[in-house]
Structure formats: structure tokens, C-alpha cells
Homo-oligomer: A and B are copies of this chain.
Amino acid sequence: MTELGRRERKKLQTRQSIADAALELFMARGFDDVGVKEIADRADVSVTTLFKHFPSKEALLFDEDAEQEAALLRTVRDRPSGTSIPKALRDYFAAAAKGHADHPLFADFQQLVQTTPALRAYGHRMWMRHQEALARVIAADIGAPEDDVRCAALARFALEARDVIFDRPDRERAADEVFGLLEHGWAADQQS
């Protein structure tokens, strides 16, 4: 594909070492007890450089979500025929929840985020950025206008559903109930 020159390779390398340093320090001592200066030092980089790579302290933990969005859109676009959109999304989130429970490293990360207000808020905002793209894919799928209100609402609710579900002990069951609500409402509104 795109051959990366030495320059861009080095750039990615510094970016990565900054992200690594941040992750280690945050996991060890918590988000609020680690200063930006300390992260920069550990990555052997100036604070100015750190902020040339990441727009904020919170952003140090939320990398690469282009892939995540693509996967989300695919679950709607490439779902098996006969499967409703809410059902497909339900399966996606259920699988994601399961995957997190398995990997203990990811569980620790998740816990750090959920217990730090600033991170929880930032993570949620980033996640919600997918709303518009998701809404467009849904609209395209059912042949509605690009800015259809119900499609926007379904996208919004489905994305919000993740947090509702993740807070529960039995996520499988929670996913069924929450998306059941969307499923029935969606089906009733659809004429075809």
C-alpha cells in the first residue's frame, strides 16, 4: 500500500512511545496523579512535542478509532439477510462485551476509564462521534433520506446502549432487554 518514508515511520514511533509511556503511568498511578510533564520525560520528548501529537491529556489513551468505526458500520452493512439492524448491533455489542471480559489487560484499562470522570466523559464523546456515520449507513440501508430522524435516533440510542449495558453485571441479558426495546420500536415503524 502506502510506503512510509523514514520520516513518517519516526513520527509514528515517537507517537507510539508517548502513548506507551502514558498508558503505563496512568495504569500504575491513576490519571489524575500523573502530570503531562512526567509522561513527556518518560517518552524522552518535550511537552510541546507531546501536544503536537495529541490534542489533550485524555487523548493519550484513545488512539485509532477509525478501525473501530469501520467495524461498527460493517456490522450493519454486511449483516446476514433476514437480520434486523438492532439485532445486528445487539450481537456486535454482546461480542464486544465478551471480548473485554476475556482479556484481563483490557478489563484493567476499562476500569481505569470508568472510574476516572474525565476519561469516562472523553471516551463517551469519542464514541458518540460515530453517530453520524452510523445514521447514514442505516438510512442508506432502508432507503431513507440521509438525515432521517428515526435513523439518527436509532444510531444515537444504539451507541448510548453500550454504556447502559456495560454497567450491568449480566451484560448478555441486559443487551437482550435494551435492544429488544429498540428492535420492537424499529420494527413497528418500518412499513416494509
Tell me if A153 and B149 are in contact (CB < 8 A). no
> Do most interface residues of chain A lie in helix, strand or loop, or is the interface mixed?
helix
Q: Which 4 A-B pairs have the closest CB atoms?
A: A185-B185, A184-B188, A181-B185, A184-B185
How many residues of chain A get a CB closer than 8 Å to chain B's CBs? Answer: 27
A74 within 8 A of B: no
A21 within 8 A of B: no
CB distance from A75 to the nearest CB of B (A): 20
Q: List 16 A-B contacts (CB under 8 A).
A: A149-B164, A149-B168, A150-B177, A150-B180, A153-B177, A153-B181, A157-B181, A177-B189, A181-B186, A181-B189, A183-B185, A184-B185, A184-B187, A184-B188, A185-B186, A185-B188
CB distance from A170 to the nearest CB of B (A): 9
Kindly report how many copies of this chain are found in the complex they form together. 2
Binding site for B on A (CB under 8 A): 121, 125, 149-150, 152-154, 156-157, 160-161, 164, 168, 173-174, 177-178, 180-189
Residues of B within 8 A of A181 (CB): 150, 153-154, 157, 182, 185-186, 189
Tell me if B178 and A189 are in contact (CB < 8 A). no
Residues of B within 8 A of A160 (CB): 156-157, 160
Residues of B within 8 A of A178 (CB): 149-150, 153
Residues of B within 8 A of A125 (CB): 121
